[in-house]
Structure 1
Amino acid sequence: MFGEASMPRASYEALHATLQPLSSAELGVRADVLARAFLDQGITFALKGVERPFPLDIVPRIIAADEWRTVEAGVGQRIRALEAFLADVYGAAQVLADGVVPRKVVVTSAHFHREAAGITPHNGVRIHVAGVDLIRDEQGTFRVLEDNVRVPSGVSYVMENRRAMAHVLPEVFASTRVQPVDSYPAQLLRALRAAAPVGVSEPTVVVLTPGVFNSAYFEHALLAREMGVELVEGRDLICVGNEVAMRTTAGEQRVDVIYRRIDDEFLDPVHFRADSVVGCAGLLNAARAGRVTIANAVGNGVADDKLLYTYVPDLIRYYLDEEPILPNVETYRLDDDADVLAHVLDRLDELVIKPVDGSGGAGIVIGSQATDQELARLRERVEKDPRGWIAQREVALSMVPTLVGNRLRARHVDLRPFAVNDGEKVWVLPGGLTRVALPEGALVVNSSQGGGSKDTWVLTDGLTDPAVLEEALDPPVTVAPASQGPDPGPDLGPVSAQQQQQQQAARSTPC
């Protein structure tokens, strides 16, 4: 908020002027209103077994228009490069032949699925939705922390945070030109319809959810409702002769596009986990036959493997012939150089060590905050499986004032912008999910690790086309709200949540 002591940055002036005269009691009252609004809507998460409102801080994170243009361009560039990589690696694999990425990096990735080889979407889009995690370093530079191109979640919190904040801080909205976020469902629907199989002019789109016990079910229901499409589970779908249909009260109805919120391993028991009851048998064969489009595409996880992340700047140069707009965080690869591995093992107490296939902050070890016993155990695991880990320097994430108790305190934040690709343009939602580490000094922002969120305000200026701000397409047809179950936050790993759903389904199946 401040560039110098007692001197708020220009983008924060209106917010600072509003907050300064408020007493701690009044701030507390407004914060309670936020919490009650989320609790009444079922927007909750479980932390250590206790269900509670998803923490939304009353102080928004503000990004100036010129800064956002850099983020927007950098995210779009990154998605285009990853799209080209996925098309290549599941096709001709020229990037491997040219040595830009070592073949072993791809074939040893847990998320590289040979079952997806040869499946070519007609509009060339495999990453329909992406979430790119960014941090701002000590010099104020945005850097990419990781890519999420499998089943990225959290956009529902972006929309709900904005709706709640508009009621709690209306005086700031009146004096600040904030770009809207409510066009996201329409943009997503347009991209999904554009991905329909060849010859389908009026595609039927569905959102496929594991069910009410999944950690992100609230988001699944919200997006289906806002897009005006059906929310289905695997048991609602049937695949015969490579044609996919959903069961309805009026009979079977053809399905053309499936926006799936189920991880690859649970999507199709014919090709992946045979014991999965949350997917539908035959979906992958139908996609290969060109009869249905699965969004995001199966096998995308190889592009957000954290080891592959270290090669993305090279992929941008290789496929786009451009220099990266958004740099990576400085990262060590541990599997291809014994000297690098030895160097990292000698400095474990200074680095951040991450599992390459982790999610939700699970498995991350911040060396400066770890005990000697934790570092010793980590050393054993890294020495045993160097391919399974990367090391990064510890970045002092930027801080934003956050209401802690009855006082505003500085807390570390990151940012997850969401991008939608319709095959012609990569559209980046103006804002995204700002996650905040609530414990003092903490650097892990994930809600499953005790973090919260902030509304992210992207300001506009005279260079922004007013038509862009109003763009929401035609309002989608609304459907009856689906029931909303408890939601523990946007970053719980999908596999564990789907296993929970599958176990629940097994318990409820009659003998």
Structure 2
Amino acid sequence: MAFDEMLTAENLPRPPYKDYHEWYAAQDTAHLIRKTQDAENIFRKTGITFAVYGHADSSEKLIPFDIIPRIISAREWRKLAQGIEQRVLALNAFLDDIYHKQEIIKAGRIPRELIEKNVAFLPEMIGFKPPGGVYTHIVGTDIVRTGEDQFYVLEDNARTPSGVSYMLENRETMMQMFPELFTLNKVQRVEDYPRLLRQSLAAVAPPGCKGKPRVAVLTPGIYNSAYYEHSFLADQMGVELVEGSDLRVLDGKVQMRTTRGYEAIDVLYRRVDDDFLDPLTFRPDSALGIPGIMDVYRAGNVTIANAPGTGICDDKAIYSYMPEIVEFYTGRKALLENVPTWRCSEPASLKYVLENIADLVIKEVHGSGGYGMLVGPTATKKERSDFAEKLSARPSNYIAQPTLALSTVPIFVNKGIAPRHVDLRPYVLVSDKVKIIPGGLTRVAIKQGSLVVNSSQGGGTKDTWVLED
């Protein structure tokens, strides 16, 4: 039985939801149906869309938005924030170590081949320390809940975590439609994120930067599925949105073409994958990056956020070692636990997973977006059989986890409310200090019984409230 975050077994509201529950009970269902339609119209007019690559219908889609907020108490959030900060600091220390002394490998805590044979490990970063010593400037930590005080990290997003624009637009939409709720409930702010992001990026400008650092957002272009977010964040921060063709290396700096000629960029918030960042270093056929940017980077004349090579932290095989990684670098047990994980590269684990495939969730180590995975309990016998063949052929490409009873929160449907499974992606900014935005993006499985919350797989989002004390 899944833990209901709003209601107890006696159908009474839990403390964080008390005021909201009383307000909801007094509302007319027809009025809330109209509000749902209003929200959809707001998203449509604002252009809050995403695209799904590889689908026959690859047109821009609206992400479903639910008008019932997810509410977290101040006490619950403090516990989560402490665990998230510990984890993010450990990830940064891990990256610094594997690209320098590799003490964690020498100590036998992580197998050498897991790092050196990993496609996300960049030899080009060995021996180089980025400005400020920060690798993971923006992190999204995916968290699931199974009980009253039972939170687990599902995965880490240290390369280019997405979705923060939805968090901000969800809050703005809720404040526009239900201003009275923010009087009834003292909700911590998320609206400061763009200002804090710019501050955080400016704080890690290269040491030779004179005056106010110039920040820009590097996008692959209008056909990227997250282009809306790239343009939204550049606009909200008051910085330039650039493509690779707008930039070139001149006089040892990355410079942007302007009406006044070329001007230097100090910090580049890149939303372009490592492989496409520099055709002189990585993929020579890339038209998305800037030829020579890695030379400028290694010379200490530009900051790239997040640093190249951070994607190794998104690897699900690395994730399985996070308890050891956190303890190795912080000297303490992890405050936030991992979901129990079987590494299919290990023969005993592979045997167990194949024998229990009907009960497990199996994921590709480099997979994302809900693709390349098997949810055993909802898969057909043939799907499980076909997946078992792939798994046996390339066991090191997979990890497996138990099917958790993810917590539910209510969504609004035409007949009232209905429980749906959720996860949470809080956003963390790292520079000279760590800043965790209170709440984050709640992703919800709109389909009844589904455990897949990704927008590309039919999931939606909702506003996340962290209450003040």
Q: Normalized against structure 2, the TM-score is what? A: 0.96
Work out the CA distance in 1 between the residues paired with 2:235 and 2:349: 50
Aligned identity (percent) is 46
**Residue 325 of structure 2 is aligned with which of 315, 318, 332?**
315
Aligned partner letter, 1:169: F
1:45 aligns with 2:50: yes
Quote the residue 1:445 is aligned against. 453
- 8 Å CA contact 1:28–1:406 kept in 2: the answer is no
Quote the residue 1:354 is aligned against. 363
Quote the residue 1:267 is aligned against. 277
**Residue 286 of structure 2 is aligned with which of 276, 282, 292?**
276
- 8 Å CA contact 1:118–1:288 kept in 2: the answer is no
Q: What SS is found at the alignment partner of 2:337?
A: coil
1:423-460 Cα deviation digits (max 9, x unpaired)? 3x211100100000011100010000000001000001
**Residue 242 of structure 2 is aligned with which of 215, 218, 232?**
232
**Residue 391 of structure 2 is aligned with which of 358, 382, 392?**
382
Work out the CA distance in 2 between the residues paired with 1:46 and 1:411: 24
- 8 Å CA contact 2:50–2:226 kept in 1: the answer is no
**Residue 304 of structure 1 is aligned with which of 314, 321, 335?**
314
* 1:24 shift after superposition: 2.3
Q: 1:140 to 1:396 in 2, by over 3 A?
A: farther
Aligned partner letter, 1:276: S
* CA RMSD between the two structures: 1.3
**Residue 329 of structure 1 is aligned with which of 329, 332, 339?**
339
**Residue 428 of structure 2 is aligned with which of 419, 427, 444?**
419
Work out the CA distance in 1 between the residues paired with 2:355 and 2:148: 27
1:135-192 Cα deviation digits (max 9, x unpaired)? 0014541100000000001101111100000122222111100001011111111111
* 1:93 shift after superposition: 1.1
1:404 aligns with 2:409: no
- 8 Å CA contact 1:131–1:419 kept in 2: the answer is yes
Query: Where do residues 475-494 of structure 1 align in structure 2 (5 Å cutoff)?
Result: none
Work out the CA distance in 2 between the residues paired with 1:160 and 1:15: 20
Work out the CA distance in 2 between the residues paired with 1:51 and 1:305: 29
Work out the CA distance in 2 between the residues paired with 1:360 and 1:384: 23
* 1:316 shift after superposition: 1.1
Work out the CA distance in 2 between the residues paired with 1:107 and 1:52: 39
- 8 Å CA contact 2:51–2:225 kept in 1: the answer is no
* 1:241 shift after superposition: 4.7
- 8 Å CA contact 2:340–2:402 kept in 1: the answer is yes
1:269-310 Cα deviation digits (max 9, x unpaired)? 111111111111111111101111100000001112100001
Aligned partner letter, 1:431: G
Aligned partner letter, 2:221: G
1:24 aligns with 2:24: no
Work out the CA distance in 2 between the residues paired with 1:257 and 1:420: 15
Query: Where do residues 134-213 of structure 1 align in structure 2 (5 Å cutoff)?
Result: 134-138=143-147, 140-201=149-210, 202-213=212-223
1:430 aligns with 2:435: no
Q: Which moved more, 1:30-39 or 1:167-176?
A: 167-176
1:57 aligns with 2:33: no
Quote the residue 1:112 is aligned against. 121
* 1:46 shift after superposition: 4.4
1:475-501 Cα deviation digits (max 9, x unpaired)? xxxxxxxxxxxxxxxxxxxxxxxxxxx
* 1:198 shift after superposition: 1.0
Quote the residue 1:88 is aligned against. 97
Q: What SS is found at the alignment partner of 1:285?
A: helix
Work out the CA distance in 2 between the residues paired with 1:303 and 1:98: 19
Quote the residue 1:8 is aligned against. 13
- 8 Å CA contact 2:208–2:301 kept in 1: the answer is no
- 8 Å CA contact 1:25–1:406 kept in 2: the answer is no
Work out the CA distance in 2 between the residues paired with 1:191 and 1:119: 21
Q: What SS is found at the alignment partner of 1:191?
A: helix
* 1:23 shift after superposition: 2.7
Work out the CA distance in 2 between the residues paired with 1:71 and 1:138: 14
Aligned partner letter, 1:359: S
Quote the residue 2:466 is aligned against. 458
* 1:38 shift after superposition: 0.4
Work out the CA distance in 1 between the residues paired with 2:138 and 2:51: 26
Q: Which moved more, 1:377-386 or 1:74-83?
A: 377-386
Q: What SS is found at the alignment partner of 1:262?
A: coil
Quote the residue 2:76 is aligned against. 67
- 8 Å CA contact 2:256–2:264 kept in 1: the answer is yes
Work out the CA distance in 1 between the residues paired with 2:310 and 2:168: 26
Q: Which moved more, 1:128-137 or 1:310-319?
A: 310-319
Q: What SS is found at the alignment partner of 2:228?
A: helix
Q: What SS is found at the alignment partner of 2:100?
A: coil
Q: Normalized against structure 1, the TM-score is what? A: 0.88
Work out the CA distance in 1 between the residues paired with 2:149 and 2:379: 27
- 8 Å CA contact 2:76–2:149 kept in 1: the answer is no
Aligned partner letter, 2:446: L
* 1:9 shift after superposition: 0.9
Quote the residue 1:127 is aligned against. 136
Q: What SS is found at the alignment partner of 2:42?
A: helix
Quote the residue 1:248 is aligned against. 258
- 8 Å CA contact 1:210–1:233 kept in 2: the answer is yes
Q: What SS is found at the alignment partner of 1:435?
A: strand
1:36 aligns with 2:46: no
Quote the residue 1:507 is aligned against. none
Count of residue pairs the alignment pairs up: 459
- 8 Å CA contact 1:110–1:357 kept in 2: the answer is no
**Residue 221 of structure 1 is aligned with which of 209, 227, 231?**
231
Q: What SS is found at the alignment partner of 1:29?
A: helix
Work out the CA distance in 2 between the residues paired with 1:102 and 1:296: 25
Quote the residue 1:496 is aligned against. none
* 1:108 shift after superposition: 2.4
Work out the CA distance in 2 between the residues paired with 1:414 and 1:77: 20
- 8 Å CA contact 2:204–2:431 kept in 1: the answer is yes
Work out the CA distance in 1 between the residues paired with 2:152 and 2:230: 29
Aligned partner letter, 1:163: E
Work out the CA distance in 2 between the residues paired with 1:51 and 1:121: 36
- 8 Å CA contact 1:27–1:406 kept in 2: the answer is no
Structure 2, unaligned stretches of length 5 or more? 1-5
